[in-house]
């Protein structure tokens, strides 16, 4: 094998798309998928590539330094693409420490292992940290987040991601660790756990459950199709400059309510329901505490320097996403039963 790349969080939503892309694109590279398989990790996401000779799965909890060190003692890596994280804002409000453990301590455990393994040969190695636009806090009506926007996180999730970003930079400055960071906007697409807005609402429309809209629904997000994020990640891993940050976004801002109405219209059409029937499920609920009003990314740096742009329009991506969920109801039902159901009932009062 020409190289060995460790992808952390590869059984999750974005990670599984990254793993598939790398396994298929680089048959001479060994792709090692590290994942603890929390509620959000699902090896079903990778059934189609798990038999490939250049794919390997290891179950490791990055919050446990001994497990990380044991893996690095067994295998040498040319690079790490780090996606493993606790990723849901609402859960971070319930249990901030779980986010500190995985997102902060887990990242530092990986940084320590890389630093030790690469100490005599940093050349050509790379620690690629995947982060979020949420570290920048919230925007008013105007403006966009750029790579130089000051960090101003508002949720325990974004505070833990901001902290991990700082540790990555600090390891670059202090120990010379070669790194790159990207901060991306909201992703959507196949295989996203149905606790996030788009898959939760697709599933609820499908089964006729209420659509819980937080607050006034006038919150704005910048949506990017997950495959376009995976393509950007591969590009940055190969061609990004060490020590740089790149913002990745969809050039695609929607208020939650406009997005939900679009989703309802497309679902009515796909399910052969009367126009307007899904929108009747919209239910306004108590707002999320510390809810960021608007996120929007200025992605001109990655476009100018690396030639990346989203390849699908929102309408195309959303159609593909809805089609995938409607064709994979078993995947959805496996997740929405059992343990997840208990969490869901606690969050939404069994609605």
Q: 51: which 2 tokens?
A: 């038999």
Give the one entry of ligand TYD, ligand NAD, none that residue 214 binds, where binding means its C-beta sits below a cut-off of 5 to 8 angstroms depending on kind: ligand TYD
Strand partners, 78: none
Identified binder of ligand NAD from the candidate list 11, 71, 139, 322, rule CB under 6 A: 11
Rounded least distance, CB 140 to ligand TYD, Å: 15
Kindly list the residues in this chain that would bind ligand TYD in the complex (CB under 6 A). Answer: 89, 186, 196-197, 200, 212-214, 219, 221, 256, 288
Q: CB under 6 A: which stretch of 49-57, 77-85, 148-156, 277-285 binds ligand NAD?
A: 77-85
Non-local (6+) Cβ contacts of 282 within 8 A are 210, 211, 213, 260, 264
Q: What angle do CA 161, 165, 171 make, to 5 degrees?
A: 145
Identified binder of ligand NAD from the candidate list 30, 41, 147, 318, rule CB under 6 A: 41
Q: Does 247 bind ligand NAD (CB under 6 A)?
A: no
The arrangement of strands across the sheet holding 253-255 comes to 186-188, 220-225, 253-255
C-beta of 265 vs 301, nearer to ligand NAD: 301
Non-local (6+) Cβ contacts of 300 within 8 A are none
Q: Does 38 bind ligand NAD (CB under 6 A)?
A: yes
C-beta of 181 vs 213, nearer to ligand TYD: 213
Per CB under 6 A, contacts with ligand NAD among 112-171 are 130, 132, 161
Q: Does 102 bind ligand NAD (CB under 6 A)?
A: yes
Q: Does 184 bind ligand NAD (CB under 6 A)?
A: yes
Catalytic residues: 133-134, 157
Q: Does 310 bind ligand NAD (CB under 6 A)?
A: no
Count CB neighbours of 238 within 10 A: 11
Give the one entry of ligand NAD, ligand TYD, none that residue 102 binds, where binding means its C-beta sits below a cut-off of 5 to 8 angstroms depending on kind: ligand NAD
Q: 253: which 2 tokens?
A: 């801002």
Q: 336: which 2 tokens?
A: 């929405």
Rounded least distance, CB 176 to ligand NAD, Å: 24
Identified binder of ligand NAD from the candidate list 24, 26, 29, 37, rule CB under 6 A: 37
Non-local (6+) Cβ contacts of 173 within 8 A are none
Identified binder of ligand NAD from the candidate list 5, 6, 36, 211, rule CB under 6 A: 36
Q: Does 321 bind ligand NAD (CB under 6 A)?
A: no
Give the one entry of ligand NAD, ligand TYD, none that residue 205 binds, where binding means its C-beta sits below a cut-off of 5 to 8 angstroms depending on kind: none
- For residue 41, the SS3 value is coil
Q: What angle do CA 181, 251, 133 make, to 5 degrees?
A: 35
Q: Say how many CA atoms lie within 13 Å of 109 toward its Cβ.
A: 23
Q: What angle do CA 305, 110, 61 make, to 5 degrees?
A: 120
Nearest to 57 by CA among 8, 18, 113, 125: 8
Q: Which residues bind ligand NAD (CB under 6 A)?
A: 9, 11-15, 35-38, 40-41, 61-63, 83-87, 102, 106, 130, 132, 161, 184, 186-187, 193
């Amino acid at each position: 094998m020409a190289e060995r790349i460790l992808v952390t969080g590869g059984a999750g939503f974005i990670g599984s798309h990254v793993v598939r892309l790398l396994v298929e694109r680089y048959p001479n590279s060994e792709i090692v998928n590290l994942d603890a398989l929390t509620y959000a990790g699902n090896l079903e996401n990778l059934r189609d590539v798990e038999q490939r000779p250049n794919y390997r799965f290891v179950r490791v909890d990055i919050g446990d330094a001994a497990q990380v060190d044991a893996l690095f003692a067994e295998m040498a890596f040319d690079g790490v693409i780090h996606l493993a994280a606790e990723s849901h804002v609402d859960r971070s409000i319930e249990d901030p420490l779980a986010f500190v453990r995985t997102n902060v301590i887990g990242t530092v455990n990986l940084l320590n292992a890389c630093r030790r393994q690469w100490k005599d040969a940093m050349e050509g190695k790379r620690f690629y940290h995947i982060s979020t636009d949420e570290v920048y806090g919230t925007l008013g009506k105007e403006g966009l987040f750029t790579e130089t926007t000051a960090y101003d996180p508002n949720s325990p999730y974004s505070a833990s991601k901001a902290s991990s970003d700082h540790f990555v930079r600090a390891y670059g400055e202090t120990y010379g660790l070669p790194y790159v960071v990207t901060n991306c906007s909201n992703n959507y697409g196949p295989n996203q756990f149905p606790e996030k807005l788009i898959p939760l609402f697709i599933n609820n429309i499908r089964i006729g459950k209420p659509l819980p809209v937080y607050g006034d629904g006038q919150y704005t997000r910048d949506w990017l199709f997950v495959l376009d994020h995976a393509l950007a990640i591969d590009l940055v891993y190969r061609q990004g400059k060490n020590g740089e940050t790149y913002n990745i976004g969809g050039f695609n801002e929607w208020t939650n309510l406009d997005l939900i109405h679009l989703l309802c219209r497309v679902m009515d059409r796909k399910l052969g329901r009367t126009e307007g029937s899904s929108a009747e499920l919209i239910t306004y609920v108590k707002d999320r505490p510390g809810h960021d009003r608007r996120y929007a990314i200025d992605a001109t740096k990655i476009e100018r320097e690396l030639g990346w742009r989203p390849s699908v329009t929102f309408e195309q991506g959303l159609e593909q996403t809805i089609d995938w969920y409607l064709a994979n109801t078993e995947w959805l039902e496996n997740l929405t039963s059992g343990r997840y159901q208990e969490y869901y009932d606690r969050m939404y009062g069994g609605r």
